[in-house]
Amino acid sequence: MTRLAFENIACFRGGRLLFEGLNLALAPGEGMLVTGANGVGKSSLLRIAAGLLAPAAGRVMRDGDVALAAEAPALDEDQTLFAALAFWARLDGGDDQAVAMALAAMGLAQLAPVPVRLLSTGQRRRVTLARVIASKAGIWLLDEPASGLDMASLNELAAAMAGHLAAGGVVLAASHQPLGLAMREIGL
């Protein structure tokens, strides 16, 4: 059973209290969209959910593996897209087939033999989403997943998220744009 819950979370960054008393609970198949102005703490919220950042107060409960699509692509520039993604997929216990399926899901199949350094910003963003798909993790944490994506990619993202939720996964996304999927919203 995949779950993610925040209990009375407070976040303190750079001498500033970003938010406090935050509660949320995501049951299997539930998604949530975090909205708010720049610098309000959306990325910090996702980093707390991922366990990368310790909250100043409160408790995070996670049932299931976590996959994070953050701003940084975390890909080796010299390798081909397929090899760079396969490194992560194999760390997650996946195989070449999982990589190929994830690439196809984000419309990147033709770019598989291209070196990562030649990819555009939007293509890199799609690769980070493909890594999340390939990870088979239950909890998806997506930081601005729609930024830089074209219409076709937005639809692929929405389809991937809908498929993940239908399979009992959990999605917590921070975004300025609508993601083309009906989700509860929480404003920071």
Partner 1 sequence: MSPFARLVRRDLTRAFAHGGAWLPLVFYLLVATLFPFAIGPDAALLAKVGSGALWTAALLAALLPVERLVRPDLASGVLDQLAVRGHSDEGIAAAKLTAHWLSFGPLLMVATVPAAALLNLDGATLERLEIGLLLGTPGLAALGLAVAALTAGLRSTGALIGLVMLPLAVPLLIFGAAPGAGALKLLAATSLLFVAGAPFVAGAALRAGRT
Q: Using CB under 8 A as the criterion, which residues of the chain lie in contact with partner 1 when the complex forms? A: 50-54, 65-68, 70-76, 78, 87-88, 90-92, 131
CB of 99: closest distance to partner 1 in angstroms?
14
Q: Pick between residue 124 and residue 158 the one whose CB is nearest to partner 1.
A: 124
3-state secondary structure of 184: strand
CB of 109: closest distance to partner 1 in angstroms?
23
Query: DSSP assignment of 104-132, as one string?
Result: HHTT-GGGTTSBGGG--HHHHHHHHHHHH
CB of 59: closest distance to partner 1 in angstroms?
18
CB 132 within 8 A of CB 92: no
Nearest alpha-carbon partner for 169 in 60, 53, 63? 63
State which H helix or E strand residue 170 sits in: strand 170-174
Q: Pick between residue 65 and residue 150 the one whose CB is nearest to partner 1.
A: 65
What CA–CA distance (Å, rounded) separates 31 from 67?
14
Q: Pick between residue 9 and residue 66 the one whose CB is nearest to partner 1.
A: 66
CB of 170: closest distance to partner 1 in angstroms?
15
Q: Pick between residue 24 and residue 56 the one whose CB is nearest to partner 1.
A: 56
Structure-block tokens of residue 137: 């993790």
CB of 54: closest distance to partner 1 in angstroms?
7
Q: Pick between residue 22 and residue 69 the one whose CB is nearest to partner 1.
A: 69
What CA–CA distance (Å, rounded) separates 19 from 12?
8
